[in-house]
Amino acid sequence: MSRFFWVRHGPTHAKAMVGWTDLPADLSDRAQLDRLHAHLPHEALVISSDLSRAASTADAITRHRTRLPHDPDLREINFGAWEMKGVKDVEDQDHLRAYWETPGDIRAPGGESWNDVTARVNAAVARLLSAYPGRDIVAVAHFGVILTQVQTALGLSAYQAFSHKIENLSVTEVCLTDGQWRAGAINHLP
């Protein structure tokens, strides 16, 4: 059995679509970071996206755990031309609405579709499973990345996956047992 503990990075306080923009995380809530550290398996490997908000969060909770190199395939959705824009600031509201309401092959201009993100993240997960079979892995990543794995574990449509809330510094557990993905706690705040 392989278990993934998906941790969403610390808050950025941005009020826009933040994908590949490298904003820092607010890691001032040391008590929450301590609870998160205590909740996670102590022998787990830790990996993160290469964006600083995820990498610094991972560094804050690694402590005695083995830290793996950052993986750019664990980055958030690339929002392309919509990056760092508020929802109301996007000119083509019909395109934006279709992107969120019928996620799949629709892309933000110059960005990724939901299917692109899912394929990228699934490839990273497959590499980790191959390199570290049967290990517990703490993966510090982003809202969209975590939802791709919720979708896989629960067998949901992309639209259904978007209905899940993933808070900053929450843990979502998924495990692979006998070739089947299953979800444990989703959006758990230790």
Averaged pLDDT for residues 6-13: 97
Q: List phi, psi (to 5°) of 145.
A: -60, -50
Please report, for the chain, the start and end positions of each structural domain, with discontinuous segments joined by +.
2-183
Strand locations in 94-170 (E): 136-141
Considering the entire predicted model, what is its pTM?
0.96
**Tens-place pLDDT, residues 144-180:** 999 999 999 999 999 999 999 999 999 999 999 999 9
Q: Which CATH superfamily is domain 2-183 in?
A: Phosphoglycerate mutase-like (3.40.50.1240)
Angle formed by the axes of helices 143-154 and 114-131, nearest 10°: 80
Coil/strand/helix, residue 84: coil
Q: List phi, psi (to 5°) of 68.
A: -90, 160
Most distant pair of Cα atoms in the chain: their distance? 48
Q: Starting from the edge strand earliest in sequence, which strands make up the sheet with 171-177, in order?
A: 66-67, 45-48, 136-141, 2-8, 171-177, 180-183
